Amino acid sequence: MVTQLHLPSVDHLIREHLLDTVKLLDEHSKSSKTLSVVDYGLILGFTRWTGLRCIAESFWASMHADNVVPDLKCYNNYLGAIVSNLRHDPDARHSRRLNAYRTKARSRETPSARHAAYRFGNRGIKQEAMDFHREMVKNGIVPDEETFRLLILGVSREGDLDTVKKILRQVWSIDVDAVVGDLDAGDAARELRISPTSPLYPTPSLVYAIAHAFGINNDIPTALRLVDHVSRTYNIKVPDYVWHELFNWTFVLSRPRQASRNEQTYLAKASVKNIWDVMRNQPYKVQPTIDMYNKLIKSLFKQQRTKDMWYYMCEALPLYEAMRTKTRELYETLRNALGPSGTDGDETRPIGRLHQEYAQSRLAQKSARLWLKRWVRLLLATMHTWRKVDRDLFWSTIQIPKVILEWQEFMPSNAWYDISAGRVDITLRTWQEKVSYQTEIMDVMDLNDRVLDKGGLLKTHDGNRYILTRRQQRAAARLVYISEQSKVKEGRTYQIELQPDHE
C-alpha cells in the first residue's frame, strides 16, 4: 500500500533519521564537544521508538566511554530499546503472541531473525530486562512507574505471567488472583495510598501494558478485569488505544487455530461482539475505528450473521466518507501552501507537517477502501447455497440487489450470488472500462504528485508505485494472452484470404 501511494517506507524513514543523527554527532565531535546526559537521553529515546536496539547498545557504550553518568531517562529509554526491539518489523511485531510453536522457536540456541527479537532463556528478553533493572538499582537510580511498566512488557513477552503478577502486587498492591476470582481484594485503600504526585502513580500507559501482557499470553478475561479494576481504583480513564489492544487480541484469539501447531481455540466466536458491546456502551463510549469495524465484520462473517454484517457496514461507511473528505481538504490546503503565494491561510502548520498529514490521511483512506471492497465480497459470500442463511429468500431476492446498487462503487467487476433457483451473475463493468478507469486514476495521482513535488520541496519514493496484486497480475496476463490470440487469428485469416483458389 505504501509503495502504491508513492510514500517512503518505515525502514526508509528510520534510516533517514538515523543518518541525520549520525551527522549531528559528527559535527559535535568535530567541535570537540562531549555529549551531555540530556543528549544521550534523546538519542536513546530515538533508538527506543524506532526499535533499534543495536544502535542503543552502541550509544550506551559511548556514554560510558565519555564518563557520562546516565540518569533515569537514559535507563528507561535503554530498557525500552531492549523491550521494543524491532518494533516496526512486521515479522517480529506479528509474532508477539505466545503459543507452543513460537515458544519452541524462540528457545532455540540460534533463533531465526523473526523470533530473535524476543528470545527465551539464556540471554533472553526477560533475563536482560531483569538484569538491567538490578544494575539500575545498584547504581542508585530509583525506578518509576515507566520502569516497572517496561519490565512488565519484557517478562510478559517471554510468557512469565507470575513475575507480572508479582510486580503488580509488590509495587501497586494489586492482587491479580483476587481481582480475577472476584475475591475481596480488600487492599483498595492501600492502593490509593500512592499519592498522585508519586513517580509510581499508575498512568494510562500502565493500563495498556497490562492489556498487552495478558493479551499476548492468551488471557483476555484477566486483562479485561484488571483494566477495569485499575481504572476504577485510580480513577484512570481507559484510553481508546487500550480498547484497540483488547479488541485486537480478542479477535485473534477467537479465530480458528492451526491444528498443525497443536493450538486450541481460546475464545468463542461471539467474544468479539461481546467486547464490542462493552466498549461501545457506558461508561466507556469508545468510538471504533475502521480497522475495528473490519475485525468485527470478519468475525460476524464466520458466524454467518449476514444481517449484522450489513448493519455495521452501513455504520462504518460514514467513516470512510469522512476520510475521503479530509484527504481532499488536506490536498487543497497543501497545494495552496505550495502555490505562488506560499500561504494556505494556516501559518501554524509548516509544509512538512501538512504533507505528513496528507500522506497519512491518503494511506488510511486507501486502506479503508480495500476493506470496504472486502466486506461486500464477504456479504455476497454469505449467500452461497450451502451456507443456508437465507431460508426466507429475503436477502437473495430483495436486499442483495439493493446492496449491489448502493455499493456499486465497491463491488467487484463481476458480482455473483446464489439464489434458490441457481446463480445470479452481474457484470458491473467490462475489462476495458476497468482498464480505462485505472489509467485515469493513475494519471490523476501522477499529476497530483507532480504538483506537490514542484520545486523538489517534498520528497517522494522512487520505484514502481503501482504494484499489482496477484489477482490483477493474473487478469493482466489473461488480457495479454487474449490479445495475442486475437492477433494470431487475424493473421491466419489474412493468410487464408491471400491463398489462391486451386479449384
pLDDT band at 465 (very low <50, low <70, confident <90, very high): very low
The pLDDT score that the predictor gives to residue 3 is 67
- Mean pLDDT to the nearest integer, 452-466: 51
Decide: 150 and 129 in contact? Cβ < 8 Å.
yes
Considering the chain, what is the average pLDDT of its residues? Answer: 80
Among 59-68, 308-317, 415-424, whose mean pLDDT is lowest?
A: 415-424
- Interior/surface letters 190-210, b for 16+ CB within 10 angstroms, e for the rest: ebeebeeeeebebeeebbbbb
- Mean pLDDT to the nearest integer, 339-355: 65
Among 40-44, 59-63, 121-125, 189-193, whose mean pLDDT is lowest?
A: 189-193
pLDDT digits (tens, 9 = 90+) for 366-400: 889 999 999 999 998 888 766 666 666 787 788 88
pLDDT band at 502 (very low <50, low <70, confident <90, very high): very low
User: Quick one: cell of 66?
Assistant: 565519555
The pLDDT score that the predictor gives to residue 457 is 52
**Distance in angstroms (rounded) separating the CA atoms of residues 151 and 146:** 9
- Of the two residues 491 and 254, the one the predictor is more confident about is 254
Going by DSSP bridges, is the β-strand pair 414-419/422-427 parallel, antiparallel, or unpaired? antiparallel
**Distance in angstroms (rounded) separating the CA atoms of residues 64 and 69:** 7
Percent of the chain with pLDDT over 70: 80
Sign of CA dihedral 471, 474, 480, 486: negative
pLDDT digits (tens, 9 = 90+) for 299-313: 999 888 889 999 999
Q: Of 240, 186, 269, 176, give the one whose Cα is nearest residue 214.
A: 176
CA 187 to chain centre: 37
**Distance in angstroms (rounded) separating the CA atoms of residues 99 and 101:** 6
Among 3-17, 217-231, 334-348, whose mean pLDDT is lowest?
A: 334-348
pLDDT digits (tens, 9 = 90+) for 217-260: 989 999 999 999 999 888 888 999 999 999 999 999 998 776 66
The pLDDT score that the predictor gives to residue 331 is 87
Count of Cβ atoms closer than 10 Å to residue 70 Cβ:
20
Please write down the HEC assignment for all residues of 105-155. Answer: HHCCCCCCCCCHHHCCCCCCHHHHHHHHHHHHHHCCCCCCHHHHHHHHHHH
Number of H helices, E strands in the chain: 22, 2
Q: Of 36, 42, 38, 23, give the one whose Cα is nearest residue 67.
A: 36
Neighbouring residues of 148: CB distance < 8 A, sequence distance ≥ 6: 167, 171, 200
- Of the two residues 338 and 362, the one the predictor is more confident about is 362
- Interior/surface letters 275-285, b for 16+ CB within 10 angstroms, e for the rest: bbebbeeeeee
Neighbouring residues of 142: CB distance < 8 A, sequence distance ≥ 6: 72, 199
User: Quick one: cell of 139?
Assistant: 547504581
The pLDDT score that the predictor gives to residue 258 is 67
- Mean pLDDT to the nearest integer, 194-204: 87
**Distance in angstroms (rounded) separating the CA atoms of residues 448 and 359:** 12
Query: Using omega within 30 degrees of 0 as the cis cutoff, is the peptide bond preceding 283 cis?
Result: yes
pLDDT digits (tens, 9 = 90+) for 66-84: 888 999 999 999 999 988 8
- Mean pLDDT to the nearest integer, 309-332: 93
The pLDDT score that the predictor gives to residue 389 is 64
Which DSSP string do the residues of 189-254 spell out, in sequence order? HHHTTS-TTSTTS--HHHHHHHHHHHHTTT-HHHHHHHHHHHHHHTT-PPPHHHHHHHHHHHHHHH
Three-point CA angle 408, 409, 412, nearest 5°? 70
pLDDT digits (tens, 9 = 90+) for 399-409: 888 988 889 88
Residue 159 pLDDT > 70, yes or no?
A: yes
Highest mean pLDDT among 47-56, 85-94, 467-476: 47-56
Neighbouring residues of 208: CB distance < 8 A, sequence distance ≥ 6: 239, 241, 242, 245
User: Quick one: cell of 444?
Assistant: 490523476
What pTM was estimated for this model as a whole?
0.80
Residue 150 pLDDT > 50, yes or no?
A: yes
User: Quick one: cell of 314?
Assistant: 452501513
The pLDDT score that the predictor gives to residue 183 is 61
pLDDT digits (tens, 9 = 90+) for 82-137: 888 877 777 777 778 888 878 888 888 887 777 777 888 777 888 888 999 999 99
- Mean pLDDT to the nearest integer, 198-212: 92
The pLDDT score that the predictor gives to residue 322 is 95
Count of Cβ atoms closer than 10 Å to residue 122 Cβ:
8
Residue with cell 455473483: 416
